Amino acid sequence: MQEKCEEMQEEGKEMKRELGVLYEELDNLEAKIEEMEEKEKLTEKETLIKEQNDQIDKQDQRIKEQNGLIKEQNKLIKEIKNKFEKAEIEQKMSRQNLKVSSLTKQIDQIDLSSRHLRIKKILNSFLKNSKKSLNNRTPLNELLNKTRTNAMLCDFNEASIPIVNRTQEINEIVDGITSDFLKINLGKKIQT
């Protein structure tokens, strides 16, 4: 009887040992399961972060493409604007050249008498200065002053004509030219 009790005690101890081993294995399994769950959660987070990063990259790419398109559009707009401005300038210059050419023909038809020769020189001086004026936007009053000065120097050195009379004659001629010139209108407003 005592032997049986001892055997049973031994068996009980053995069972306890086995049970302890089983509990230990169970704890290890639970720890592994928790570790795997943590890893799975981390993997899910990493996947989500990666997807978000991919979306951000795609948005950045779209923004770059849109910026490229905007840049091209701005370039085209600038080119078109430049072409329009160039065409407008060329058209104005063409109109001005036609009118200047017409004035030149009128000057060439002036009779070459003594007085008309002087008038022609004044007109040519005025015309030469007017072309410069169209290019550098010289005000008309400055243009007229240059014309008067040039006219005084061109061919007005006859001793028989007093300087006062010559100045008055030049002023009359230049004033007449001014009036005609403004009527002809070279296609742009000239400050007076």
Q: How much of the chain exceeds pLDDT 90, in percent?
A: 1
Q: Where are the domains of the chain?
A: 82-184
- Decide if pLDDT at 155 tops 50: no
- Decide if pLDDT at 182 tops 80: no
The DSSP secondary structure of 115-140, one letter per residue, reads HHHHHHHHHHHHHHHHHHHHHHT--H
Higher pLDDT, 62 or 1: 62
Six-digit token string for 27:
């704890």
- Decide if pLDDT at 2 tops 70: no
Average pLDDT, the chain: 69
What was the pLDDT predicted at 165?
47
What was the pLDDT predicted at 190?
42
Q: How many CA atoms lie within 13 A of 71 on its CB side?
A: 6
Count helices and strands in the chain by DSSP H and E runs? 4, 0
Predicted confidence (pLDDT) per residue in 103-142, tens digit: 666 655 554 455 556 666 666 666 666 655 555 555 555 6
Closest CA to 125 of 161, 78, 170: 170
What was the pLDDT predicted at 49?
86
Closest CA to 153 of 121, 182, 107: 121
- Decide if pLDDT at 189 tops 70: no
What was the pLDDT predicted at 128?
67
Predicted confidence (pLDDT) per residue in 44-78, tens digit: 888 888 888 889 889 989 999 998 888 988 898 89
- Decide if pLDDT at 30 tops 70: yes
